[in-house]
Structure 1
């Protein structure tokens, strides 16, 4: 669980909290149960049973609100809390972020351990008006990275975003490349999931403590800047003399100072020269050193608090020494004046000793001055060198950081592109496998159809052969019928001739009978009539018997003839039906053949299209493979470049003194990048040549396919010609059959006419029955011959019937085969229709995939062009940075030269002033020596006078 709000407030602001209200774990069900004052600043209602945010509209000054571990399911009732800074709603039942539009001062928002999947409530917080810096959303249900970025991208002050903490995360955290995408699209972020932008874990408590230390350092600096700096002359001289050998404190602090701080300190030194402080200087340095050791992370704050008083102190030390010498001389003169009454020897000795002491002090002062000047020069040299190195290090680190960020962004982009391309390659491989399987199925179906077409052609040939056989048999039957008709005609002609002969015989016999009657003697009428009646009765009986017999034979023959005609008609009708059936079957087979040919042509076209599509897909896959190889090479190269740059960074961090060597390494890396660009251009040129070669190969394959297509079209034309020739032959056969049918109809009409003639002749035969008795023998013989002919015709009819039955059986078999072929053709047609739909669907899919691939290729080309432009811009920026760096170096060198000239001029001034002071001291010493000489002479004269006076006194004694 989260800590209370007070701790967070103290850690973030560091101010004391007044007007707080804390009701933790009190079993509250509603905020309205409490009487809240409008002057409250913080409310903590952690671990209660509150289900709705209400009754806090009147708390205008509320800055911190903690409603964690409750049963709140909606964010509401916060529109009037415009001063609210921190809001903790963790461990609730919230599913959507809303109602935060009016919270313009909200900086921290904790919504962890909820059921949030909609972040649209953060969109109104976009812009400069809202200052939201910290959002905690771990242990929720956020699963869309696009929705997350859309809702968070406009939060300009957001620096800390937590979606995963201690292994408890959101589903979006498991998306590949999530961290890289978040850091790339949200450049304002400094901490993501408790890690900085470099992936290092960050402790929030240390950040808060460092903030407090920084604030304390700033307060100390303000206090120290307000305190006066008055240093006495004696203390400064003592501190300088004591601190000359201690060279460890000030150089350490000078190395940490930047150019800006040094420049500011120089200004402060120049401003603070006339002011004198009463505080000892060493105590201040000790305090600042202690503060420096305590707060190493915030040296930039403490560096500004150290004033550098070296120059001022050195001038003051020389002045102090001069003043001390003057005071000592004055004291000596006073002593000499006071002790005028002492002896000259003692005074002389004391004066000599004092002179020696003064000379020793002067020599020591000169030595100290030389040491101080040397030390100042060394310090200036070290400071200048360290400033130069520090500025170079800062510039190089900034440049390298920018390069690292760019490389990381490019690496992230390349990883995303590689992931997308891998997914596309997987999809394309799956589609390729499906297309290959479908192609194999199509090839199998084509082979089956070719086999079926071959069978159909064989069956068609067999049917044509059977039809030709049937036609030949019909022609043979027609020829046999023609011969039979000719024989019947000849027999009729013979019968006519016989009838004529019979008429002639009858006429002769009548003439003979008339002659006999004329010559015959006539009997009496009664006898003649009786005999005649007897003979007539006998002859009538015989004649009636003969007529009956003949009539029976004629009836049988007519019946047989009628039967033969009926059978012949039935045979003709059956043959006509068979011919029609055969013709219909032939036409059906021809139409089916045309349909199958059309289906075959359509299938061949589809196969050609599918093969071309497969070739296009294979070419696309090869191009993608080459592009993936290029991307992998680029990735390896970028990884190698990153490794080299990381190594160079480590070398730069470890060895700050070798910046010039590192600049040369950067130049070498620049040359390597240029060579790598040239290598990439050569690779692109090689890929283009490979693409041209593939295009030539595709053109050759297209020409070969066109040749194959021409051959197939020629074969189809030849088959069409054969079909037309067969149709023409069929039409000729049909015309011949029609002619024969007309001939047979004419013959049947002639037979009918003959029947009418026969009937007339039978009537004539009935009239001439007496004459027929003589011709019975001939007719009997003719009847025997006709009976034999009829037997032959019956045998032929039986053979024809047998052939008819065989043909019927064959027709039934053929009809069954045709039904099977039709069924197979219908199934094949349905299959081809289904396959055509599948092929059309595949074509649409392939076209869509091709369009997608072309769009992706265009995007990749645009990205490649953009990357090339970015590289060019980066190279130009590097050139500009190098020029700027050179200009900065030149400016720094010129500034250093100017500073050196100024220091030399100031040093010359100080030396001139020191020489003037030494000259003055020497003049004063000379004057003192002259005065001492004069005093010595006066003393000697006095001594002489005293000695003369004493000698005179002794002489007088």
Structure 2
């Protein structure tokens, strides 16, 4: 990880997938440029107040924002692949903003101010993978909310709720296990109360396992390929791995076997070029694997050192920041894994050297050339010299590490002694302060409880006074309401009476109008009858006159004939007319009968109507008289009630003034009590703050202890790393010694082979001298031999070229080993830097201890000042108690006086109620008398109206009789006319 952070400019250059900036004073995440390919972020113990600037981090899996000033969970919508989230030691109140974290498996919200858990509803369903929740050290009160908002978390298995108010409730574990069925552990314990080891998250553990599996598979593949190609070498290596002590005894036998095999293989020229290529490829692959393994070890060591520094600077780091090396120091299983890895590294190194050894043996044509073997000897001597130099360097490094360990042990002893004494002193002082504070707090709580009791008694008394006052006011209000109701009722009665009188007057006018119309109709009918009589008389006169004028000799034939004709015609006409008139008379008689019937019906209806009107008129008169009497009585009652109300209002005003005075006194007392209460609450709050400061000091003490434990664990880890390094160095030294023995044996074998080859060459020279004569004679055979020599030279050239290529490859290997040595030197420099950093951290710890001492002195001064304040408060409380007792006596006296006044008022109210009842009974008696009188008057009026109706009926009967007589007269006249006409006709 490459990070450059400058406090002056606040600039960060990030070129890796992990960030760890702990304790850098970061306030805003927007100031930091973050790479989009980040996998884990650690901003522990900074000053961040808001979560922002994390947009676009799709690949982020681990986020640590603990020990900051965050108040709200927000800005996590784009973190799709987040699996672990640590927001502990912040100021969060509400759980929210987690709806997009579907891959989240571990959530830490401990030591916040959480009260509301609505945000867990966003994580309901099978899409979410939340498995572990830590909410200990918060303000969660209700168990129902926990069950309500966590019931839908389908994969929740581990939950911690300790150090919450809910954990003090009875049977909360049983309820949670009954409602949350998939829960396996609560507060680190299962259903039966046994300890349950929950899966704590480790950053990068999956990548580490994947990488270790890859390296192990590669080693297994390479070992399998080598064992397939060279079974004897593989057997020898296996024997060395399982019993390394017997290897020295078996080296000579293996060298002899290998020499015999090489000699047998020198005779066989059938080794192909493919075998050489395979050997080269296996060698390169093993070299690269060794390089990767060394680099991985170096990276592990560097990460361990960085994380140890971070743990020293910030002791509040969580389990997420612990490296696999630290876990191995704590658990024996991890130590066994590290031993297995070291054995595998030893196997790699032995395998590499064995392959080089076999490769040097499996080149038969190289051994035939003397010059090439000399070069090989020089090359191996240079390698042995380099190995010796490396041994010396490693020995020097071991000595320097021993010196460092001695220095660290000395510093640890000094620090433990000084820190132990300081911690004991601080513990004693803190215990004394805590005991003093507890005693003072108890005294103050007892005083506060007494004042609370007194306040409750005064409040009860005030409540009783207020209730009595409210009852009096309610009585007054009821009386006022009754008066207003009586006024409104009287007003409504007057209005109703006026309306009824108006209605009756209107009905009387209507009846009079109808009577007038009927009288007019009767007069008109009489006039019509009179006119008809006059017409009849006039016609009789005219007829007589005409008869007198037309007197002719009746005895003449013409006249008689004419008279007869006229008589017949007239008789016919009169007969027709008589028939018509009879029909008309019959119709008129029928109409007259109908009119008579209608008139009778109308008279009956009018009679009924008149009777109803008379009844209503009498009822209204009676009601009017009653209302008048009741109005007079009500006026009298109103006057008396007004007098009573004026008296009551005077009493109420006097009571109001008294009550106002008492309320003012009570308000003053309450204000004084409130002021005292506020002062006491302030004092309690100050004591709480002091208690919180003490708790913080205790936490700091625990943190210091944790730091010392962390330092001790770091030292133990360094010791174990030293042991591992010593073991590895010893193993490497043994392997180098074995390699040197092998190389020396190979050199001796090669020297013996060179000597044999020289002898063979001498023999061949002698034989060539002997055979010169034969060669000169046999030219043809010599030419053939020359051709063979040319071919042999070509093969030698090829072998030389191959040797040069091998030499270049060896030079490359030497360069790579030099690079490894440089890296080891860099590691040594880093160890020196670690030592310097440890010294600087020790100095910082000393400075922190001095600061704590100064803070402790300041706290002692504050405690003295607060003790003086508490004494002053005690004096003030005593004065207030005295004043309170005096006011309490005054209030009790006033209370007694008010009770007496209340009793007097109640007696007066009862008297007034009795008077009001008596008056009401008198009014009822008067109303009854008036009702009886109205009934008598109504009966008299009914008799008068009935007599009047009878008179009208008699008049109508007389009118009908007169009309009948006139009708009979007309009928008789008509009959006379008819007789007269008949007589005339008979005479004619």
Please give the TM-score of this superposition, normalised by the length of structure 1.
0.32
